[in-house]
Amino acid sequence: MVDLKWSELPFGYIKTNYNVRAYFKNGNWSKLEITDKEHIDIHMAATCLHYGQEAFEGMKAYRGKDGKIRLFRWEENWKRLQNSANGILMEPVPKDLFFEMLKTVVLKNEEFIPPYGTGASLYIRPLLFGSGVRVGVKPADEYTFLIFVTPVGPYFKEGFKPVKIAIIRDSDRAAPLGTGTLKVGGNYAASLRGGERVHAEGYGAPMYLDAIEKKYIDEIGAANFFAIKDGTYITPKSSSILPSITNKSLIQLVEHLGYKAERRPVREDELSGFEEVGACGTAAIISPIGEIKDLDSGEVYKYCPDGKPGPISTKLYETLLAIQYGDMEDPFGWVTFLD
């Protein structure tokens, strides 16, 4: 095991031993290549550089109390990458190759998987991009797929403590018929201005509203939004948000725990009636929200009056982590053991 301050890790990059790569050329995927190089050699006319032909994933490996390494719903990440690839006309990565590369990169960097109980995990970043040469706006004929890993701590510095969120209207991360449902780099480039603006004003992340009416809640930075009201878990339905695997899991979990779940358009003016609100995602896990400020109207919505996350958010957080780290039986078949 490498010597790191595991419980103080930020959500950032730390060099590990290896990454894995494969190349699509002349109609075929290569075998995987294991390398310790952190750089990639790329043609200056590659489509990813000019036309944003690029998609990525975000997932985690967890070390349980039993020392075993667990992945959470990796097939869902593979499916979403297929969808992102199809959405921007890239060559999809075959499932077997994806899993072989995933397993290899995690096991080759085993000493970087944080010890159980430190609150940290190994973040896994699959990345697919057009590496073929084009000058006209057209899909590439060559693709590179790579996966690197890095040990991480919480995405929001608060961890499982209430964060402050700001509603912005002066930029959109995605259009209703654009690429919002895909995990492509362009959406994140579009979100930088909003993210930096709200950070400078002291908020953890921006909340985006629907791009047409600015009336409905879309999502929060790099996480989906959920709310709790009268024993029901409510999360937005929208054609411009990323289908979060964490959110999908929380819907199943909340129903398993005996509550109801609704996926439907959620208006901003409903915020005043919610008992608990939060952000969810692989990096964010569940981040309870203590305050949402609409930076245009000045309206402030407050939650967690005693400074603590609400009971249902807490239950969901504890149960999700217990499944991911193997502290409780996985009733859904979400976990894959790697060793």
Coil, strand or helix at 225: strand
Which helix H or strand E contains 204, and what residues bound it?
none
Contact with ligand COI (CB under 6 A) among 4, 32, 58, 119: 58
User: Among residues 82, 150, 244, 287, which is the contact residue for ligand PLP, using CB under 6 A?
Assistant: 244
Residues 209, 217: Cα–Cα separation, whole Å: 5
Q: Rounded CA gap, 16 and 102, in Å?
A: 15
Distant-in-sequence, close-in-space partners of 253: CB < 8 Å, separation ≥ 6 = 316, 319, 320
Identify which of residues 246 and 287 has a Cβ nearer to ligand PLP in the complex: 246
User: In terms of C-beta density within 10 A (0-12 exposed, 13-18 middle, 19 or more buried), how is residue 287 classed?
Assistant: buried
Q: For ligand PLP, give the closer residue by CB, 16 or 247.
A: 247
Label residues 134-143 b or e (16+ Cβ within 10 Å = b).
Answer: beeeeebbbb
Q: What span, in angstroms and rounded, lies between the C-alpha atoms of 177 and 33?
A: 37
Based on the residue annotation, tell me whether 183 is a catalytic residue of this protein: yes
Nearer to ligand PLP among residue 59 and residue 312 (C-beta): 59
Does residue number 243 form part of the binding site for ligand COI (CB under 6 A)?
no
- What lies within 8 Å, CB to CB, of 124 at 6+ separation is 57, 58, 59, 60, 61, 102, 105, 106, 147, 148, 149
The answer to whether the CB of 69 falls within 8 A of the CB of 337 is yes
Instruction: Decide if 161 contacts 285 (C-beta within 8 A).
Output: no
In the region spanning residues 175 to 234, those forming contacts with ligand PLP, defined by CB under 6 A, are 219, 222-224
Cβ 283 to ligand COI shortest distance, Å: 3
For the CB of residue 302, give the shortest distance to ligand COI in the complex, in Å: 26
Kindly name the residue from 183, 214, 248, 315 that is annotated as catalytic. Answer: 183
- Give yes or no for residue 245 binding ligand COI (CB under 6 A): no
Closest CB 152 distance from ligand PLP, rounded Å: 13
The residue length of the chain stands at: 339
Q: Which is nearer to ligand PLP, 52 or 58 (CB)?
A: 58
Q: Please report how close the Cβ of residue 34 comes to ligand PLP at its closest, in angstroms.
A: 26
List the x/- string, 29-68, binding to ligand PLP by CB under 6 A.
-----------------------------x----------
Binding to ligand PLP by residue 281, rule CB under 6 A?
A: yes
Q: Per CB under 6 A, does 245 bind ligand PLP? A: yes
How many residues in the shown chain lie near ligand COI by CB under 6 A?
A: 5
287 binds, among ligand COI, ligand PLP, none (CB under 5 to 8 A by kind): none
Q: Which residues are catalytic?
A: 183
Q: Which residues bind ligand PLP (CB under 6 A)?
A: 58, 219, 222-224, 242, 244-247, 281-282
